[in-house]
């Protein structure tokens, strides 16, 4: 799972976290916070897209037939 997250977010962030002087527990907390933030952004993006699609269906422009 960590490798998937590293590929998605970018290895430079993980390199910076590993280079920073902190304990292993703090490092894991920082990585967990990054994962949580990434999940929240993905969720908000998903909700935004769904609302846009719903709005497009609800407020259809009348066609020439009507």
pLDDT at 57: 76
Query: Would the pTM of this model clear 0.85, i.e. be above it?
Result: no
pLDDT range class, residue 64, cuts 50, 70, 90: low
Q: What digits encode the pLDDT tens for the residues 6-61?
A: 666 667 777 888 788 889 899 889 888 988 988 999 999 999 999 988 887 777 76
Q: Report the pLDDT value the prediction gives residue 10, as an integer from 0 to 100.
A: 66
- What span, in angstroms and rounded, lies between the C-alpha atoms of 27 and 2? 13
Quote the Cα angle for 30-24-31, to 5°. 20
Q: Which is nearest to 32 in space by CA: 54, 9, 50?
A: 9
**What is the rounded CA–CA span in Å between residue 30 and residue 25?**
9
Per-residue pLDDT, 35: 84
């Amino acid at each position: 799972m960590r490798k998937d997250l590293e590929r998605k977010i970018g290895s430079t962030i993980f390199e910076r976290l590993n280079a920073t002087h902190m304990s292993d527990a703090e490092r894991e907390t920082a990585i967990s916070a990054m994962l949580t933030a990434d999940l929240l952004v993905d969720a908000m993006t998903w909700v935004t897209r769904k609302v846009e699609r719903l709005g497009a269906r609800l407020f259809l422009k009348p066609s020439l037939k009507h």
